């Protein structure tokens, strides 16, 4: 017959049991707190920060007024990205992106971006104006202008050709610009 545990042994056993229960409850509360913190912090992640982390990846974008664009995500700027597709490049306004497939699970916070990531869409459009390549400007409403970018203003682009009367297109109306050459 086993001896009865002493009162001290019973008390220490009770304390051990209570400490174990407290540790288990603390672990559950801590896990829930970490999940809550993670969710609370995720609301600060932007689409641009996920796209920066996805540079060099093959992505598929659904763009308002254009449809599906597939290719390698090559550059990101403030409010735009460059996707190199099959035999053509696309400058896509990120505000016009509806769906992204193939993005990285990670994000890169804005404080870690290079100065090149801070360049706006006007910088990309100026490069098109300098090169004088033919392109298609896709509008948010689905309209298109097959043209050459002539000049870039503060919030618009001037397009046309030497034989056309130039047209002005507001940046806010542009969904994407597709290279033709």
Structure tokens belonging to residue 157: 């682009």
Cα separation of 81 and 92, whole Å?
Answer: 5
Q: What is the mean pLDDT of the chain?
A: 86
HSE of 135, CA atoms in CB hemisphere, 13 A: 29
The structural domains of the chain, with segments of one domain joined by +, span: 8-43, 47-179
CATH number of the domain located at residue range(s) 47-179 in this protein: 2.30.30.600
pLDDT digits (tens, 9 = 90+) for 49-95: 999 999 999 999 999 999 999 999 999 998 899 999 888 999 999 99
């Amino acid at each position: 017959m086993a001896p009865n545990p002493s009162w001290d042994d019973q008390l220490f056993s009770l304390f051990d049991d209570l400490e174990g229960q407290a540790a288990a409850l603390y672990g559950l509360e801590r896990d829930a707190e970490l999940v809550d913190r993670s969710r609370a912090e995720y609301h600060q992640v932007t689409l641009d920060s996920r796209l920066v982390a996805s540079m060099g990846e093959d992505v598929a974008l659904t763009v308002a007024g254009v449809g599906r664009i597939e290719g390698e995500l090559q550059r990101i700027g403030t409010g735009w990205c460059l996707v190199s597709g099959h035999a053509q490049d696309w400058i896509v306004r990120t505000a016009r992106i509806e769906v992204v497939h193939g993005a990285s699970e990670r994000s890169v916070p804005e404080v870690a971006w290079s100065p090149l990531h801070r360049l706006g869409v006007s910088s990309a459009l100026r490069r098109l104006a300098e090169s004088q390549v033919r392109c298609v400007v896709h509008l948010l409403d689905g309209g298109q202008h097959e043209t050459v970018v002539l000049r870039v203003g503060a919030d618009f682009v001037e397009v046309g050709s030497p034989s056309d009367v130039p047209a002005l297109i507001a940046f806010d109306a542009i969904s994407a610009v597709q290279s033709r050459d």
